Structure 1
Amino acid sequence: MTHDAPANAAPLRAYPAFVHFWIARIASGFGFQMLSVAVGWQIYALTGNAFDLGLVGLVQFVPSLLLALPAGHIADQFNRRRIVVTCQSLEWIAIAALALGSWQGWLNETGILTLLFVIGLARAVEFPTRQAMVPGLVPAPVLPRAMAMNASAMQVAMIAGPAAGGFLYVAGPDAVYATAALLYLISIVLLARLRYDHRPPRREPATLKTVFAGVGFIRARPAILGVISLDLFAVLLGGATALLPIFARDILHTGPWGLGLLRAAPAVGALLMSVWLARHALQRRVGMIMFASVAGFGVATLVFALSQMLWLSLLALAALGAFDMVSMVIRGALVQLDTPDAMRGRVSAVNSIFINTSNQLGEFESGMLAAWLGAVGSALIGGLGTLVVVGLWMWMFPVLRKRQTLETPDEENVADAAR
């Protein structure tokens, strides 16, 4: 439609609400990445036990699994901006307590894990709510570019945040926590001043039916079910990055510096692609572009598995990150645009369960296969499995294969697929 063209062509800076949201995302993302580095160092310095490092991940994962569906219901029943501000305020209090306890010297392992659990609870509610906010900040034709720009904030935080946290840790963990608290405070102020027009519908009581409504909604819509399940199985099979220490030491024969480069390569590729996608709209054959990107992810995994040269492995990982970013932006925009606003929180919550589960199980699957078949064999099976999944999903979900634009209503796609 012609009236979409001006909005689609407008730069993202023309939408000040989204710009404020994006800056807040960078600030809180930086703060959380810095926090993650400091917590790991501090826990290990206090206990010297590798098992305790696993507890750091566990106390953050459990809340996200238990609270995801209730969080989605909350996001659809209350003002989303206020929910995110409240959650980040709770996170800020916990981070400030980490800073104060480290400075005063009374913080122990139990205290750190307890405060991390509080942060995990708040983030479990914040994540689906924040995801559901994005479509309300820009017009629908601009959403894919906005999601790419939002993803770039995450990638910048993932690349630079840990490095900044490690550098500041020289001055002590309290310095890292205090800086993270300051960044969270900036994010809270920006979000509190954000102009976001969200009028929740008439509130429904929290019942099993309303809490699980997102699951039923997804099952009834082939496009959304196909997109979310494609992400689940592709990530489950493509978890080669969990094996990077093995590849760095035993196959590429490099040291910790090489491992650092390998870990950064996917994020660099994803960041470069997200910047490109933020400036160039995906307007045609988005379904095939998504499938081609997931297939490219699988091919890049195969190249990485077979490479014995550091430079080729870095290129393969950068390509892997770039392909994943393309498919992630398309999948995310398609889910948001095919979901009515009254359901976005619950659908985002179900999607977050799939994402968190696939990331955790993908690393487990890669590790188990590596124990049986070696790291190379595990990565090869993952890459080949991803290609098989792409072929199966193209056959099982023709509505996705024939999808032309992200704005096309689901019903039109069903009609096209039936012809």
Structure 2
Amino acid sequence: MKKNDPYAALRFREFNIFLIVRFALVFAWSMQFVVIEWEVYSITKSALSLGIIGLMEVIPAVSMALFAGHIVDQKEKRGLLMLCIAGFSVISFGLFLITWPVFIKDLSKNTILYSVYALVFLGGIVRSFIGPTIFSLFSLVVPKKVFPNAATWSSSVWQMGAVVGPAVGGFAIHLIGVHWSMCLIFALSLLALFFLFQIPKKPILNPNLGEPVLKSLKEGIQFVRNTPVILGALTLDMFAVLFGGAVALLPIFAQDILKVGPQGFGVLRAAPAVGALLIMFTSAYFPLNKNAGMKLLAAIFGFGICIIVFGVSTIFWLSVVALFLSGVTDGISMIIRQTILQLRTPDAMRGRVASVNSMFVGSSNELGAFESGLTAKLMGTVTAVVFGGSMTIATVVTTGALFPKLRKLDLQKDLEAHEAENE
């Protein structure tokens, strides 16, 4: 491998297929969430209803997370991911039906709304398995010596899907309507399933197959708790995402504050992901491994500032720039966090650690959506967003003080150690 080769991970065929699958899934999932947000707000005109969408997904995602991690560590990863995608396809088809005028013509608005919530709830169950399964499969399709580079490309593809999904969602609502947008999402889930078949089955690297569930879960929690760098990174990101969840309120900003319609909504929704995508491609050439801890803290501090600026803005282009820069800072934190997890997690623990990660970070997206919806209801939309950004900044200061090992973290040393093992 060339030193600082920005394309090191892309030289492995299975990893490229893995990226296609991940892109299709993220594209479909993020587009689906945007379309659901638009439809629910159009039906209810309620900020709290937007928050409930997040709550309906976070309840099963958190409740099932640790159990899902145990299952992932015990099962073959590709086959398990196939089941997850099949489940997502069924949910997408259900949303396709519940937004079809012919199918719902005799249904009340409440019936439609509760049906959407129920399908989102089922999606939360599926998502609790998808996160740790993808995290574990990642380590089986690329050598450990290129993990940092692979983490950058994997995160970039995630963000690319997060860019295209919301943007296409916003424009698709305008061009073909909610119903046919859901049809496109269903087709993307089938595409992901098709490409996943191109990856062969993988070995199970857990030496403790058949281990009792409670013992397995306890080991996963203890590992995270006893690894300050991982615990600090997860805690920091959890609270940043929890309090910085302004994107959940974007339908309100697009429709009622900035008054830019579905096209402007698509631009606003995609702006953070465009910023994150830009920084991720840049980081392939200029790695973030050196002094990673301080870079992580600085990035999330900057994220909080961007959220505050977005909250007080009444100018469309300023709002777009603020969201774009929030994506840049969020992208930096995502790359560093994923690299920490991949380098510091043993193979046999990947499913459980990824599940703890999903409880801390992944589910905080939806919990953050609920927090934003609730605070918007209580404080007003603008005040809620400014409050969230301020709490994010406070979290950075507190975490930096409580976790000195995180402040001093330098991932370059971890990378050099792994390269030495493979020589």
Q: Please state which band the TM-score falls in when normalised by the shorter chain.
A: 0.7 to 0.9
- The runs of 5 or more residues in structure 1 that have no matched partner are 412-419
Rounded to whole Å, the distance in 1 between the matches of 2:69 and 2:376 is: 36
Q: List aligned pairs for 1:269-280, cutoff 5 A.
A: 269-280=275-286
TM-superposed deviation, 1:387: 3.0
Secondary structure, in 3 states, of the residue corresponding to 1:72? Answer: helix
Secondary structure, in 3 states, of the residue corresponding to 1:136? Answer: coil
Q: List aligned pairs for 1:125-204, cutoff 5 A.
A: 125-165=129-169, 175-195=180-200, 197-201=202-206, 202-204=208-210
Match in the other structure for 1:266: 272
Whether the 8 Å CA contact 2:57–2:366 is kept in 1: the answer is no
**1:388 is matched with which residue: 389, 394, 409?**
394
Cα distance change on mapping 1:99 and 1:318 into 2, 3 Å? closer
Write the deviation string for residues 142-162 of structure 1: whole angstroms up to 9, x where unpaired.
323323322333333333334
Rounded to whole Å, the distance in 1 between the matches of 2:241 and 2:382 is: 17
**2:234 is matched with which residue: 212, 228, 231?**
228
TM-superposed deviation, 1:83: 0.6
Rounded to whole Å, the distance in 1 between the matches of 2:122 and 2:318 is: 42
**1:327 is matched with which residue: 333, 342, 345?**
333
Q: Aligned pairs, how many?
A: 406
Match in the other structure for 2:78: 81
Match in the other structure for 2:420: none
Rounded to whole Å, the distance in 1 between the matches of 2:240 and 2:50 is: 27
Moved more, 378-387 or 316-325: 378-387
TM-superposed deviation, 1:223: 0.8
Secondary structure, in 3 states, of the residue corresponding to 2:142? Answer: coil
Secondary structure, in 3 states, of the residue corresponding to 2:269? Answer: helix
Write the deviation string for residues 149-182 of structure 1: whole angstroms up to 9, x where unpaired.
2233333333333454566666676644443333
Q: List aligned pairs for 1:216-295, cutoff 5 A.
A: 216-244=222-250, 254-256=259-261, 258-295=264-301
Cα distance change on mapping 1:115 and 1:242 into 2, 3 Å? closer
Cα distance change on mapping 1:128 and 1:116 into 2, 3 Å? same
The residue type equivalent to 2:224 in the other structure is I
Rounded to whole Å, the distance in 2 between the matches of 1:327 and 1:103 is: 40
Whether the 8 Å CA contact 2:243–2:371 is kept in 1: the answer is yes
Rounded to whole Å, the distance in 1 between the matches of 2:307 and 2:115 is: 40
Whether the 8 Å CA contact 2:276–2:327 is kept in 1: the answer is yes
Cα distance change on mapping 1:305 and 1:176 into 2, 3 Å? closer
Moved more, 9-18 or 155-164: 155-164
- The runs of 5 or more residues in structure 2 that have no matched partner are 418-423
Task: Determine if the alignment matches structure 1 residue 299 to structure 2 residue 296.
Answer: no
**1:92 is matched with which residue: 89, 92, 96?**
89
Moved more, 71-80 or 392-401: 392-401
Whether the 8 Å CA contact 1:15–1:138 is kept in 2: the answer is yes
**2:214 is matched with which residue: 192, 208, 227?**
208
Q: List aligned pairs for 1:42-81, cutoff 5 A.
A: 57-81=54-78
The residue type equivalent to 2:299 in the other structure is S
TM-superposed deviation, 1:140: 3.3
Question: Percent sequence identity over matched residues?
Answer: 36
Rounded to whole Å, the distance in 2 between the matches of 1:267 and 1:361 is: 19
Cα distance change on mapping 1:281 and 1:136 into 2, 3 Å? farther
What's the RMSD between the two structures over aligned residues? 3.7
Secondary structure, in 3 states, of the residue corresponding to 2:139? Answer: helix
Whether the 8 Å CA contact 2:58–2:363 is kept in 1: the answer is no
Match in the other structure for 2:421: none
Whether the 8 Å CA contact 1:204–1:210 is kept in 2: the answer is no
Cα distance change on mapping 1:408 and 1:196 into 2, 3 Å? farther
Rounded to whole Å, the distance in 2 between the matches of 1:295 and 1:312 is: 19
Cα distance change on mapping 1:391 and 1:83 into 2, 3 Å? same
Rounded to whole Å, the distance in 1 between the matches of 2:70 and 2:342 is: 16
Write the deviation string for residues 279-317 of structure 1: whole angstroms up to 9, x where unpaired.
432231111111111122123234434545433332222
Cα distance change on mapping 1:121 and 1:315 into 2, 3 Å? same
Moved more, 209-218 or 164-173: 164-173
Cα distance change on mapping 1:255 and 1:67 into 2, 3 Å? same
Moved more, 148-157 or 50-59: 50-59
Task: Determine if the alignment matches structure 1 residue 17 to structure 2 residue 22.
Answer: no
The residue type equivalent to 2:260 in the other structure is G
TM-superposed deviation, 1:200: 3.3
Match in the other structure for 1:359: 365
Whether the 8 Å CA contact 2:78–2:202 is kept in 1: the answer is no
The residue type equivalent to 1:22 in the other structure is L
The residue type equivalent to 2:72 in the other structure is A
Whether the 8 Å CA contact 1:145–1:279 is kept in 2: the answer is no
Moved more, 20-29 or 96-105: 96-105
Whether the 8 Å CA contact 2:31–2:168 is kept in 1: the answer is yes
TM-superposed deviation, 1:273: 1.5
Write the deviation string for residues 338-362 of structure 1: whole angstroms up to 9, x where unpaired.
1101111111101111124433443
Rounded to whole Å, the distance in 1 between the matches of 2:150 and 2:259 is: 38
Rounded to whole Å, the distance in 1 between the matches of 2:290 and 2:41 is: 50
Moved more, 346-355 or 393-402: 393-402
Secondary structure, in 3 states, of the residue corresponding to 2:411? Answer: coil
Moved more, 318-327 or 170-179: 170-179
Whether the 8 Å CA contact 1:265–1:314 is kept in 2: the answer is yes
Write the deviation string for residues 241-274 of structure 1: whole angstroms up to 9, x where unpaired.
4454666678x75433555433332122112122
- Relative contact order, higher structure (CA 8 A, sep 6+): 2
Task: Determine if the alignment matches structure 1 residue 399 to structure 2 residue 405.
Answer: yes
